[in-house]
């Protein structure tokens, strides 16, 4: 098993170990003496146990649980996540690095000092996730405190009374993690940032059945649910029709998935029909105000018109107040 550890740590297709290399590492790392014959017989035993060890021009571990590319994606995902602290992010990465060798570690070492610094400040996120996961599995309600930033740039409870929520699903969207549930006093769906949740407790009371929650009567289609809620706003979705240019297709798919319908217009113009939460769509539309025109519903046209006029009034004077 020490030979296996050495192969994991020091070998790959570009760094093959000769028998003498393994003998030297056994001595240096573990103070163990070994003969050449023993190296070969132990490698044969490891192969019989299912380990994929190549022996062309030296030994190396050919197959691992994760490829270098997979590990890089996982590490990037951890450091760009806003749901956990930097300390937790580094701890997770160190665990992942154990599935690689020293050459991979040297290539990604710089990442440790270049994380964004935008990770969550709530140090109880991992514990909250574990408790919420247990509650979902047991079908129980939970209570928790919900945090928000004050002008001192620190997190504080949003209110003195704890929230009581029926938890159904935890989901990730755009680098943030959310609890999807039902606030006990109402019948609709609510979202809660996991990095804003603390002091989670599982209650004895069973949660409401999912089918009794408005919007979850037929279960939960996560991909469709996220596509209709660009910024994770709660509430019903509505049909929206807009005119834009085909150059915006990338942004449309990034935001709404591939569930919307497209009709060709004149030149490179297109007409798009989609379903989206109106609050979420309003803020999406304001980002692309010069590149889209909302055609339906009239209520959305009016809202964007009023917002545009409000912005115009603030900037129409050349000198700010």
In this predicted structure, what is the pLDDT of residue 106?
A: 62
Nearest alpha-carbon partner for 194 in 125, 270, 277, 279: 125
What is the rounded CA–CA span in Å between residue 98 and residue 100?
Answer: 5
Nearest alpha-carbon partner for 23 in 10, 9, 35, 8: 35
State the Cα angle at 92 between 51 and 163, rounded to 5°: 130
What is the rounded CA–CA span in Å between residue 309 and residue 314?
Answer: 9
**Is residue 260 a contact partner of residue 281, using CB atoms and an 8 Å limit?**
no
Q: Buried b / exposed e across 141-162, counting CB within 10 Å, b at 16+?
A: bbebbbbeeeeeeebeeeeeee
In this predicted structure, what is the pLDDT of residue 121?
A: 67
In this predicted structure, what is the pLDDT of residue 279?
A: 85
What is the rounded CA–CA span in Å between residue 249 and residue 180?
Answer: 29
Nearest alpha-carbon partner for 147 in 189, 188, 193: 193
**Is residue 143 a contact partner of residue 201, using CB atoms and an 8 Å limit?**
yes
269-276, strands of its sheet edge to edge: 261-264, 269-276, 238-245, 293-296
Tens of pLDDT, residue by residue, the chain (321 residues):
999 989 988 888 888 999 999 999 998 998 989 888 899 899 999 988 988 898 888 998 888 877 777 787 787 777 666 667 777 877 888 888 888 877 776 655 544 444 444 556 667 787 888 899 899 989 999 999 998 887 777 788 888 899 999 999 887 776 677 888 998 888 888 888 888 899 999 999 999 998 888 878 777 776 666 666 655 666 678 899 999 998 888 888 878 878 889 999 999 999 999 988 888 899 889 988 889 999 999 999 999 999 999 988 888 876 665
Work out whether strand 197-206 and strand 261-264 pair parallel, antiparallel, or are unpaired: unpaired
Residue 88, burial from CB neighbour count under 10 angstroms (0-12, 13-18, 19+): middle
**Is residue 217 a contact partner of residue 247, using CB atoms and an 8 Å limit?**
no
What is the rounded CA–CA span in Å between residue 103 and residue 126?
Answer: 30
């Amino acid at each position: 098993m020490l030979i296996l550890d050495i192969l994991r740590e020091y070998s790959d297709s570009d760094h093959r170990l000769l028998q003498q290399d393994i003998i030297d590492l056994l001595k240096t790392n573990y103070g163990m003496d070994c003969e050449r014959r023993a190296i070969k017989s132990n490698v044969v035993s490891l192969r019989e146990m299912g380990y994929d060890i190549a022996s062309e021009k030296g030994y190396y571990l050919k197959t691992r649980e994760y490829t270098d590319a997979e590990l890089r994606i996982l590490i990037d995902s951890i450091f760009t996540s806003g749901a956990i602290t930097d300390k937790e992010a580094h701890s997770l990465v160190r665990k992942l690095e154990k599935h690689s060798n020293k050459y991979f570690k040297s290539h990604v070492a710089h990442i440790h000092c270049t994380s964004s610094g935008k990770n969550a400040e709530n140090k109880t996120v991992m514990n909250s996730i574990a408790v919420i996961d247990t509650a979902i599995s047991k079908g129980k309600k939970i209570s928790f405190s919900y945090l928000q930033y004050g002008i001192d740039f620190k997190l504080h409870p949003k209110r003195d009374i704890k929230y009581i929520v029926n938890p159904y699903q935890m989901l990730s969207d755009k680098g943030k993690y959310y609890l999807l549930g039902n606030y006990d006093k109402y019948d609709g769906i609510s979202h809660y940032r996991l990095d804003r949740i603390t002091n989670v407790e599982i209650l004895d009371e069973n949660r409401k059945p999912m089918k009794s929650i408005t919007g979850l009567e037929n279960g939960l289609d996560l991909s469709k649910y996220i596509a209709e809620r660009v910024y994770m706003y709660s509430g019903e979705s509505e049909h929206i029709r807009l005119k834009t240019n085909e150059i915006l297709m990338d942004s449309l798919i990034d935001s709404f998935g591939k569930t919307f319908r497209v009709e060709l217009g004149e030149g490179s113009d297109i007409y798009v029909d989609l379903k989206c939460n109106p609050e979420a769509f309003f803020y999406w539309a304001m980002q692309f105000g010069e590149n889209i025109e909302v055609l339906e519903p009239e209520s959305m046209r009016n809202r964007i018109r009023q917002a545009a006029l409000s912005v115009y009034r603030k900037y129409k004077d050349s000198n700010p107040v």
